[in-house]
Structure 1
Amino acid sequence: MIVKNEAATLSKCLSSVRKVVDEMVIVDTGSIDRTPYIAKQFGAKVHHFQWCNDFSAARNAALKYVTGDWILVLDADEVLTSGIVPQLKEAIARDEYLLINLVRQEVGAEQSPYSLVSRLFRNHPDIRFERPYHALIDDSVSLMLMKDPNWQVGYLPGVAILHTGYQKNAIAQNNKYAKAAAAMEAFLATHPDDPYVCSKLGALYVETGKISQGMELLKRGVATSDENYDILYELHYHLGIAHSRLRDFPQAISHYQAAIKLPIYPMLKLGAYNNLGNLLKAAGDLNGAKNAYATTLKIDPTFVVGHYNMGMIFKAMGLLTDAIASYQAAINLNPYYAEAYQNLGVVLLKAGNHQDSLTVFKKAIALHERYNPEEAKRLRQGLQEMGLV
């Protein structure tokens, strides 16, 4: 790990791996809080590195201290899931693997909750991180595979890493957007056709409102990505978002459909299927939207937003019993889902179940009071106008 001022999250991270790994190597890049102390309390070997605005340089410095045969890389805002450990141990016991990709879940993400990350690999002198931001070993691994095709890259099915760092409050606290943009723009200046940085920087531009700049980079990435399907998926996915922001919905649908057709791990496609469903629903194609949402749930039955969206489709179709079941499934998975309670209340009311409807509306209002007071006020007024309260 490389760390800086991670006292709030480090204990949880190290607790998740303490009984799994043989050593913990942590490189601190300038903490002024209790981060180094907490790391040592867990038995980690703590080293120090002068930060130079280059994540790869810091991660490569950490590699120098590793003594084990395999390396697992985590960030302080991540944890290793206990359920993946047997698969992980079985995989690293096989001789053919050079790198094993892991599925990471973005906790709290509504649109694209899963990604594949290259975080488990052999301790080999030719493997090193590159790129100043979004540091990756993939480039060095690709060179090794070209030299020795007997090596293989694998992946573990199932979620291996839980990540909380992309939640909006975490991004705001750490000024992540500004840091990312500065580092990637410097890299782009010397690597103008690199599809990975085109994808990541293009997506960041779209997210921060620089849509035309973002689309130019994303299109450049599509033109140069060859058969790198994982990156090509990301490029089409973010082009779908960009066109949606511009209200060019046919083009957005086209890009999501292109993303879905790519031969990549199905869990990674949830965002494209979900966004495609939203656009088809808005266009009045309820059956098309239903099929898209149903596919998300076939891929991941625990996809909360998928259940909620199915509820919205069933409600629009007048299938009240199915809508109730879908909203209840979303609530069972996320008991704090105010919108699911609210829409469940609407459907119960339509079904003539006034008492249960009122109970559910009260729960929705209570949750909105905590997270969205304006919506709580609007909902309460609506119920008063209908004479329900």
Structure 2
Amino acid sequence: MSEAPKISLCMIVKNEEECLHKCLESVKNLVDEMIIVDTGSTDKTVEIGKSFGAVVHSYEWQDNFAEARNFGLEKATGDWILWMDADEEMNQEDSMKLKELLRGKEDSLFYIHLINYIGDEINEDDAFHIAHSRLFRNGIGFRFHFPIHETLNVEEVLPNLTEDLHIQILPVRIYHYGYMNECTGRKNKFERNIQLLMKELEKEDHSPWIEYHLASEFSRIQEHEKTFKFVNLSIIGFLENHMMPPSLLYKLKYSTLISIGSAEGAWPGIEKAIEIYPDYVDLHLYKGIIQYLKKDYKRALMTFDHCLELGESNIRHLTLRGSGSFHAWYYKGLCYEGLGQVEEAMAAYRMALAMAENHAPAKEALEKLSMKTEVSHTLNSK
């Protein structure tokens, strides 16, 4: 039997005393070494890292996340590198089986199931799921690029990788808390990120990912016009570079149009996006919502049924929890209401609540409809 591979945890941190302990605790029995690059902490971050046996390297911040991460990679001695952020935590049960999953593997890169929580509190039904390149073989040329929202140079190291040759997703979950309202407010991420992204935007040869990340930042603070502007520029940038725009660009584009109530502006463009990514349930959900807003209830019902058929297990796309389950049932309820089919609407809302008992819109819609039905029965009995 082959030896268990050695895993190095690589992180960059700054003033993470509130969350670093939980992160390191989740992987302390998995990794063989912890390499932490500290970019200027003034709290107990360094002390916490060292208490877990981590080797902490001081690093002068250069407004470049990729360079800081690459500095850490150079210090790692493991066969495999696992990279994480301090506001993340690996599922404990999954971490216990990861080494066995890696034993004897000839692959160079693996995806891990990243769960991004949003909102005010941790809620399994309020999260985005995606497969993310978090585990890669050391010493074969993997590096990070882009000063902000740094990304692995997968295409350079694995040039023969195609859509037909998928990177394997390991059954390992990492929970990310950094997009929750408390974290984003506390760290003033928006101002920092916008400043760095605008600096990158000035470069003639910048990646179209920069416009996408700008769109994402503006989306988080609900500046929809700027979101729409930059996501469109990103799509154009990918096309001009003879590259297929990634699916999450279309997700952001059409969710923005829905947010500003522009169903007409989103139709029929979303059909073209679905032609490119027919297996992306979120796009189908948005199509159904657009049809609902256009009061095309019967076609919308068929679209939401397709969402339920697709489900939401395909995390190769950034997938909103509920797109293939309770969100689809909730919108089916709205469509039935639009058609005047009260019993069917109530049944749909109950299905949504059976899948997500705290789904407020379905709960409110059901209560409102139940009350309306009760009043109607009372008046008819008189």
* TM, length-normalised to structure 1: 0.75
- CA distance in structure 2 between the aligned counterparts of 1:314 and 1:44, rounded to whole angstroms: 57
1:142 matched residue in structure 2: 155
Structure of greater relative contact order (alpha carbons < 8 Å, 6+ residues apart): 2
User: Residue 242 of structure 2 corresponds to which residue in structure 1?
Assistant: 226
Q: Is the 8 A contact 1:193 1:224 kept in 2?
A: no
Q: CA deviation at 1:166?
A: 1.6
**What is the CA-CA distance between 1:222 and the residue it aligns to?**
4.1
1:299-310 aligned within 5 A: 299-300=311-312, 303=322, 304-310=326-332
**Shift in alpha-carbon separation, 1:211–1:156, aligned structure 2, 3 A:** closer
Quick one: which of 227, 230, 250 aligns to 1:236?
A: 250
Alpha-carbon shift at residue 132 of structure 1 (Å): 0.6
Q: What amino acid is aligned across from residue 114 of structure 2 in structure 1?
A: R
CA contact (8 A) 1:201 1:217 kept: no
What is the SS of the residue equivalent to 1:13?
helix
> Is the partner of 2:24 in helix, strand or coil?
helix
- Cα gap change, 1:212 to 1:70, in 2 (>3 Å): closer
- 1:171-205: per-residue Cα shift (whole Å, max 9, x none)? 22222222222212222322546232232224434
Map of 1:362 onto structure 2: none
Matches within 5 A, 1:308-327: 308-327=330-349
In structure 2, distance between residues paired with 1:222 and 1:254 = 21
Residue 126 of structure 1: how far off its partner (Å):
1.4
- Of 160, 167, 173, 1:154 maps to 167
Tell me which amino acid in the other structure corresponds to 1:300.
E
From the superposition, tell whether residues 186 and 48 of structure 1 become closer, same or farther in structure 2 (CA, over 3 Å). Answer: same
Tell me what 1:371 maps to.
Answer: none
SS of 2:246's equivalent in the other structure is helix
Q: Counterparts of 1:192-203 in structure 2 under 5 Å?
A: 192=205, 194-203=207-216
1:321, CA displacement in angstroms? 4.8
How far residue 337 of structure 1 moved from its aligned partner, in angstroms, is: 3.5
| 1:130-167 alpha-carbon deviations (Å, 9 max, x no partner) | 11111111x2x312223899xx7613166722222222
Q: Is the 8 A contact 1:39 1:46 kept in 2?
A: yes
Deviation at 1:344, TM superposition (A): 1.9
Cα 1:296–1:242 shift into 2, 3 Å: same
Distance 1:62 1:326, change over 3 A: farther
In 1, Cα distance between the equivalents of 2:273 and 2:127? 13
Where do 1:267-346 residues align within 5 Å?
269-298=280-309, 299-300=311-312, 303=322, 304-332=326-354, 334-346=356-368
Shift of 1:59: 0.8
Long gaps (5+) in structure 1: 355-385
Q: 1:84-140, CA deviations, whole angstroms, 9 ceiling, x for partnerless residues?
A: 557744553354311112232222378982233221111125111111111111x2x
Where do 5+ consecutive residues of structure 2 fail to align?
Answer: 1-10, 120-124, 314-320
* Distance of aligned partners of 1:317 and 1:32 in 2 relative to their CA distance in 1, 3 Å threshold: farther
Secondary structure (helix, strand or coil) at the match of 1:190 reads coil
Please list, as runs of the form range in 1=range in 2, the aligned pairs for 1:23-38 lying within 5 A after superposition: 23-38=33-48
Contact (CA 8 Å) 1:218, 1:239: kept in 2 or not? no
Q: Which residue in 1 is equivalent to 2:61?
A: 51
Cα offset, 1:286, TM superposition = 1.9
Count of residue pairs brought into register by the alignment: 346
Contact 2:140–2:157, Cα closer than 8 Å, also in 1: no
What is the rounded CA distance, in whole Å, between the counterparts of 1:195 and 1:6 in structure 2? 31
Query: Secondary structure at 1:97's aligned position in 2?
Result: coil
| Correspondence 1:113 to 2:124 | no
Q: Tell me the SS of whatever aligns to 1:275.
A: helix
Change (3 A) 1:80 1:346: same
> Aligned equivalents of 1:90 and 1:153: distance in 2?
21
Closer, same or farther: CA 234–337 of 1 in aligned 2, 3 Å: closer
For 1:83 and 1:315, locate their aligned partners in 2 and report how far apart those are by CA, in whole Å: 44
Q: For residues 104 and 243 of structure 2, what CA distance do their matches in structure 1 show?
A: 27
Q: Write the distance in 1 (CA, Å) between the matches of 2:211 and 2:308.
A: 31
Deviation at 1:63, TM superposition (A): 1.1
CA gap 1:78/1:185 in 2 versus in 1, 3 angstroms:
same
1:20, 1:85 within 8 Å by CA — same for their partners in 2?
yes
Task: Say which of 96, 109, 130 aligns to 2:145.
Answer: 130
CA RMSD of aligned residues (A): 3.4
**Stretch deviating more after TM superposition (335-344 or 205-214):** 205-214
TM score, norm. by length of structure 2: 0.76
Aligned counterparts, 1:41-190, within 5 A: 41-82=51-92, 84-85=94-95, 88-89=98-99, 91-108=101-118, 113-137=128-152, 139=153, 141-146=154-159, 154-156=167-169, 160-190=173-203
Give the structure 2 partner of residue 382 of structure 1: none
Point out the structure with the larger helix share.
Answer: 1
